[in-house]
């Protein structure tokens, strides 16, 4: 059976209906059986997604509203983000995002990650990730951060709780 194309969201409508101060993931692709992930993210004025690196996935970022910047590894280069800017974030690239004075709203699209699973280590009867990593799980979207001390989620932009 072939899947049929369908409209999942009208981004302008989502943005118009969002509360003025609403931040983080305003929408995400949630259809079962999909091979892509997409997130509509809003950062308020001056907010940042701290420097991080995505080791597995390339990410496409499309600016919808506002302005901001992307700082590359160690601040080597600053790229300006304006409405309709399309940015490729190749896997293994280090970057940090900062919203401008009017905030920044963007759509990210990337290949879907397999779900997190706890599996026994090879040859062991028990295994998995220790509970000490729970502070690295985003409270908004559930993504496990590769950063040992995350400040903002690289998927949805949500701030991690203070430690």
CATH number at residue 87: 2.60.120.10
Least confident among 3-12, 22-31, 60-69, 146-155: 146-155
First-to-last C-alpha distance (Å) of the chain: 49
Domain that holds residue 36: 19-111
Query: Residues of the chain with pLDDT > 90: what percent?
Result: 45
Q: How many domains does the chain have?
A: 1
Q: Report yes or no on 132 lying in a domain.
A: no
Q: Report yes or no on 54 lying in a domain.
A: yes
Q: Report yes or no on 124 lying in a domain.
A: no
Q: Report yes or no on 135 lying in a domain.
A: no
Sequence-distant (≥ 6) Cβ neighbours of residue 98 within 8 angstroms: 46, 47, 48, 49, 68, 69, 70, 71, 104
How confident is the model at residue 82, as a pLDDT? 97
How high does pLDDT run on average in the chain? 84
Top-confidence residue, 128 or 161: 161
- Please give the Cα distance from 3 to 59 (Å, whole number): 25
Whether residue 78 has pLDDT greater than 80: yes
pLDDT digits (tens, 9 = 90+) for 40-56: 999 999 999 999 888 88
| 74 close to 46: Cβ distance less than 8 angstroms | no
Q: Report yes or no on 158 lying in a domain.
A: no
Sequence-distant (≥ 6) Cβ neighbours of residue 48 within 8 angstroms: 96, 97, 98, 99, 151, 152
Distance of CA 85 to the CA centre of its chain: 17
How confident is the model at residue 69, as a pLDDT? 97
Q: Report yes or no on 157 lying in a domain.
A: no
Q: Report yes or no on 84 lying in a domain.
A: yes
**pLDDT, mean of residues 138-150:** 77
Q: Report yes or no on 92 lying in a domain.
A: yes
- Please give the Cα distance from 26 to 16 (Å, whole number): 11
How confident is the model at residue 117, as a pLDDT? 56
H or E element at residue 13? helix 11-17
| 48 close to 99: Cβ distance less than 8 angstroms | yes
- Please give the Cα distance from 28 to 41 (Å, whole number): 9
């Amino acid at each position: 059976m072939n899947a049929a194309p369908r409209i999942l969201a009208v981004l302008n409508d989502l943005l118009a209906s969002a509360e003025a101060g609403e931040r983080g993931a305003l929408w995400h692709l949630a259809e079962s059986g999909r091979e892509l992930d997409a997130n509509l993210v809003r950062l308020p004025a001056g907010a940042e997604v701290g420097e991080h690196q995505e080791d597995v996935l390339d990410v496409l970022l499309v600016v919808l509203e506002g302005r901001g910047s992307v700082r590359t590894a160690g601040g080597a280069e600053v790229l300006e983000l304006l409405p309709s800017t399309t940015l490729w974030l190749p896997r293994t690239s280090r970057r940090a995002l900062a919203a401008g004075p009017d905030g920044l709203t963007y759509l990210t699209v990337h290949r879907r990650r397999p779900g997190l699973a706890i599996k026994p280590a090879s040859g062991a009867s028990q295994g998995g990730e220790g509970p000490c990593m729970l502070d690295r799980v985003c409270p908004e979207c559930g993504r496990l951060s590769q950063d040992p001390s995350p400040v903002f989620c690289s998927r949805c932009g949500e701030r991690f709780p203070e430690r």
